[in-house]
Amino acid sequence: MSEGSLSGKEFSLSRRERIKKKKEMEAIFSSGKVFRGDFLMLRIYRSQESEDKPRFAFLLTKKIKTAVARNRIKRLMREVVRQNKEKFSPGDRVVILASQQAQNKGLKEFESEFLSIIQKAGIKSGA
């Protein structure tokens, strides 16, 4: 089967595509623009540094009590970003925050919410 030969790396965000440094997060929270939806919020910061890929971070509220629910929401957010990351420009820094209402949502709801938010933000394929 060809499915067994696919590596998981093709279906995930690389380390270069993730935001890990505290300074980077602080810059996004202090200077980034906020765009809100019903259960997702994006903070987008356009860095002057030209890098080869946009970078992403995922945050959740602790009001989502169980780790199972928090991990499920993070998986859904990562999947939606993975499918749509080509819409972002190099140098974009994006923090995606999920609220408590995200617990009851599926992949389709996450994707439509995410796409409507990036449309509000004026993000078009690689622009």
Q: Residue 58 forms beta bridges with which residues?
A: 96
83 burial (CB, 10 Å; 0-12 / 13-18 / 19+) is middle
Please indicate, yes or no, if residue 75 is contained in any of the structural domains: yes
Identify the pLDDT of residue 87.
Answer: 92
- Residue with the bigger pLDDT between 6 and 28: it is 28
Identify the pLDDT of residue 125.
Answer: 62
pLDDT at 120 over 70: yes
In this predicted model, what pLDDT tens digit does every residue of 17-64 receive, in sequence order? 889 889 888 989 999 999 999 999 999 998 877 667 899 999 998 899
Please indicate, yes or no, if residue 64 is contained in any of the structural domains: yes
pLDDT at 106 over 90: yes
User: Whole-prediction pTM value?
Assistant: 0.83
Please indicate, yes or no, if residue 125 is contained in any of the structural domains: no
Please indicate, yes or no, if residue 108 is contained in any of the structural domains: yes
Which bin fits 64, alpha (ψ -120 to 50), beta or left (φ > 0)? beta
Please give the angle made by the CA atoms of 13, 55 and 61, to the nearest 5 degrees. 85
Please indicate, yes or no, if residue 8 is contained in any of the structural domains: no
Identify the pLDDT of residue 100.
Answer: 94
User: What total of structural domains would you count in the chain?
Assistant: 1
Please indicate, yes or no, if residue 127 is contained in any of the structural domains: no
Identify the pLDDT of residue 118.
Answer: 93
Query: Rounded to whole angstroms, how far apart are CA atoms 6 and 69?
Result: 27
CATH of the domain at 111: 3.30.230.10
Please indicate, yes or no, if residue 6 is contained in any of the structural domains: no
Q: Show the domain range for 107.
A: 14-120
What's the residue count for the chain? 127
Identify the pLDDT of residue 4.
Answer: 45
Average pLDDT of the chain? Answer: 86
In this predicted model, what pLDDT tens digit does every residue of 63-80 receive, in sequence order? 998 999 999 999 999 999
